[in-house]
Every structure is written in C-alpha cells, then in structure tokens.
Amino acid sequence: MTIAAAPTDLLYSGTEEELRSAVRALLTDRCDAKGVLDRAETGRPHDPALWSTLAARIGAAGLLVPEKLGGQGASHREAAVVLEELGRAVAPVPYLTSSVLATEILLGCDTAESAPLLRELASGSTVCVPAVPLTLAPGAPLPAPVRDLGGGALTGTVTSVADAVAADVLLVLADTGLYAVPAAAARLTPRVPLDLTRPLATVTLEAAAGTRLADAGTARAAVAGALLSGAGLLASEQLGLAEWCLTETVGHVRGRHQFNRPVGSFQALKHRLARLWLDVASARAAARAAADALAAEAPDAPLTVAVAQAYCSGVAVRAAEECVQLHGGIGMTWEHPAHLYLKRAKADSLALGTAGHHRGLVADFAELPAP
C-alpha cells in the first residue's frame, strides 16, 4: 500500500497573506515587466537594490533560517508565498538559489562552520548559490565534478549554475565535503540562457581555496534535502507564474475586439481559459500541499513534492503558451512580457527535475514499478 496522506493545511494564514501583500507591493513598485526586460537585455538581470529591500526590509531571505541564526524562523509555507509573488513578476532575484537551495544546504550541514554564512544569507548581505547544475533533481545521483587535489585546492567544472553571476559565495560539493568558495576565486563563464531572468554560468575552479563546511557524507545528505525543498517550493513559483499568465490573458481577451465582438466571447477561447483556470486552481492545491508537507516534515513530503513538480511545471508551461497564443500577434513581440514568462516557465520545467523525472519518483513512492 502507498503512503497514507498526512493531514495538510492547504489554505493561507493571515500572516502569509500579509507577507504576500508586502512582497507584491514591492514588486509592483520596483519590478515592472519593462524594467525586467531592460535589465535582462544588459546581460545583468539582477537588481541589487530590489534584492536588498526584499531580503533586508521584508526579511524574505531569512524565512527558512531559525531566529537564533538571525533569520525569521518561519517555514516553507511562507517561503512558498514569496516564490508565488516572485513567479508572478518573473522577478530576477536569486531567491530560489540563495534563500532556498543554499540556505537549506547550510541548514542541513548544521555545523559550526556553516552558521556564520547562514547569518549573512539570512540578512541578505551575502548572496550564496550552490555550484550545481540547475537541472540537478532530487532523487537523482549527485555528480562530483569537483575534486580536492589536496589541502583544499578545489578543481573542476560545473555547468549551468544558476545566479552564479550574482553570487558572493559559491557552495561547492567536492569529493571531500562541502566548501564555501568566494565567487572571486572561481572563473565564471556566463552562458546565453533561455530564461533571461535567471542567468546561467559555467563555474571553473582551478585549485581554488574554500572554507570546508561539512564532510562528504553530511554534505551529500544536505544537498539531497535541499533539492527536495527546492523542487517543492519551485512549484509555488510555477503557480504564481501561471496565475499571471491566466489573469493577463483573460484581461486581454475581454478587451480585444475582432469580428465586432470581444475575442473572449468566442466559445473556443472561453473553454480553453476555463480549463486553464481549473488547472491553475489544481496547481495551487498541489503547490500548497508540497509547501505544507515540507514545513511539517511530513513522512509523505517526498511524494507530495514529486506530485507537485510532476503537475505544476506542466501547468506553468501551458499557461505561458496559452498566454502567447491568445494574445495573438502581440504575444509574439519582444515588447510584450509574455515571452519572459514562457522562457521562465520552460526553463523551470527543466529545473530541479523534469515532470518525467518526478513521475518516476512517484512510481517509487506509490509502489507502481516500471515493467
């Protein structure tokens, strides 16, 4: 028999709604689509001023960090709400990489060496990203491309590292443990990303020196745990993104007239949008379940996360594709932000495991083995 479902709270608390309002107000003021696009075109999409306000004034960066380490002592439920809003704005900030993945790795190490760095991450004064490919998935074998040549001289190449160009510190998983490496000690080769709002770089280490934070066993377990949390919370980013696409498209087809009628009065379009609404409503339940299961450390959290990823990444891509299609010619232009959402949605569908990978995990957890 498969794992019974743990009790879940799938609603939003009053505190979570307040946090949402604060993040949304900030992004409305400081992260409009035109600004995001302008920055992306310069090749430096990140907005350090927006980041410091989000991290320090709203305290979003430290949500997952306990208060005794300078964080908010909140949970995955609150971080999920922040990610919903960041997805809604395709905001180019290193939240998923620094405040979720790197933070969870450091929390998972739970060593004296990791605590000072955690404090800096919680305050947002330091951006720290894990030097792993963005496509690395929970449940997949962890690669070990970096070797310690002796005495902490780290050597190796890691591809597709998200937000590395915005990082102060890289978390490097080497064969001998986990290391904090100053970004300046690594060679970063920016790649041209499909998603302009989450830049990718190849990280090359040539006998780079770092601070050892944990031994190999601890490090690998911490990375595995962080990938699970990251995948579960990515579902909330996908939800927010899909919601923006739906809302924007509904607004467009209500106002756009063709054949002397609002385009949205044609049944073919109404049915497509009604189905999309249904999928977004379902994605909300799936994403909330994953955030709640992670927060509660529920025994079925790995299954709930796999379900959320298997479902939400497809919904986000479809919402963005429908957004482009139902905007007609406007949807194909550079100036309309629909393409930013499509690019983020498609890249997100590869990040932290594809839907197919997560369905494979569901097969394991639900005891539905392959032939």
Partner 1 sequence: MTATTAEHLLARVRDLLAAHPPADTDRTAFLRARFDAGLAWVHYPEGLGGLGAPRSLQAVVDAELEAAGAPDNDPRRIGIGLGMAAPTILAYGTDEQKQRFLRPLWVGEEVWCQLFSEPGAGSDLAALGTRAVRESGSGDWIVDGQKVWTSSAHTARWAILIARTDPGLPKHQGITYFLCDMHAPGVEVRPLRQITGEAEFNEVFLTGVRIPDSHRLGAVGEGWAVARTTLMNERVSIGGMRIPREGGMIAPVAAAWRDRPELRTHALHQRLLELWVEAEVARLTGERLRQQLVAGQPGPEGSGMKLTFARLNQEISGLEVELLAEEGLLYDDWTMRRPDGVDFTGREAGYRYLRAKGNSIEGGTSEILLNIVAERVLGLPPEPRDDKDLAWKDLSR
Q: Which of 64, 307, 320, 347 is in the footprint of partner 1 by CB under 8 A?
A: 307
Gyration radius (Cα) of the chain, Å: 20
Write the interaction track for partner 1 spanning residues 7-26; mark x where CB under 8 A is met and - where it is not: -xxxx---------------
Q: Assess 178 for contact with partner 1 (CB under 8 A).
A: no
How far apart (Å, rounded) are the C-alpha atoms in residues 125 and 116? 12
N- to C-terminal Cα separation, the chain: 18
Q: Which of 270, 296, 325, 354 is in the footprint of partner 1 by CB under 8 A?
A: 270
Select the span of 17-25, 185-193, 247-255, 325-333 touching partner 1 (CB under 8 A). Answer: 247-255
Select the span of 113-121, 159-167, 169-177, 273-281 touching partner 1 (CB under 8 A). Answer: 273-281
Q: Assess 301 for contact with partner 1 (CB under 8 A).
A: no
Select the span of 81-89, 186-194, 219-227, 360-368 touching partner 1 (CB under 8 A). Answer: 360-368
How far apart (Å, rounded) are the C-alpha atoms in residues 78 and 246? 23
Q: Which is nearer to partner 1, 225 or 360 (CB)?
A: 360
Q: Assess 252 for contact with partner 1 (CB under 8 A).
A: no
**Long-range contacts (CB closer than 8 Å, 24 or more residues apart) made by 209-212:** 209/152, 209/153, 209/154, 209/181, 209/185, 210/152, 210/154, 210/172, 210/179, 210/180, 210/181, 210/182, 210/185, 211/113, 211/179, 211/180, 211/181, 212/113, 212/152, 212/176, 212/177, 212/178, 212/179
Residue pair 245/318 in contact (Cβ under 8 Å)? The answer is: no
Q: How many CB atoms lie within 10 A of CB 68?
A: 9
Q: Which is nearer to partner 1, 229 or 309 (CB)?
A: 309
Q: How many CB atoms lie within 10 A of CB 11?
A: 9
CA 316 to chain centre: 13
Q: Which of 144, 184, 194, 274 is in the footprint of partner 1 by CB under 8 A?
A: 274
Q: Assess 363 for contact with partner 1 (CB under 8 A).
A: yes
How far apart (Å, rounded) are the C-alpha atoms in residues 358 and 305? 8
What is the amino acid identity at position 285? A
Select the span of 42-50, 90-98, 163-171, 270-278 touching partner 1 (CB under 8 A). Answer: 270-278
How far apart (Å, rounded) are the C-alpha atoms in residues 131 and 181? 10
Tell me the closest approach of the beta carbon of residue 307 to partner 1, in angstroms. Answer: 5
Q: Which of 25, 281, 330, 332 is in the footprint of partner 1 by CB under 8 A?
A: 281
Q: Assess 311 for contact with partner 1 (CB under 8 A).
A: yes
Tell me the closest approach of the beta carbon of residue 370 to partner 1, in angstroms. Answer: 5
Which chain residues interact with partner 1 by CB under 8 A? 2-5, 8-11, 250, 253-254, 261-262, 264-265, 267, 269-271, 273-275, 277-278, 281-286, 288-289, 307, 310-311, 359-360, 362-363, 366-371
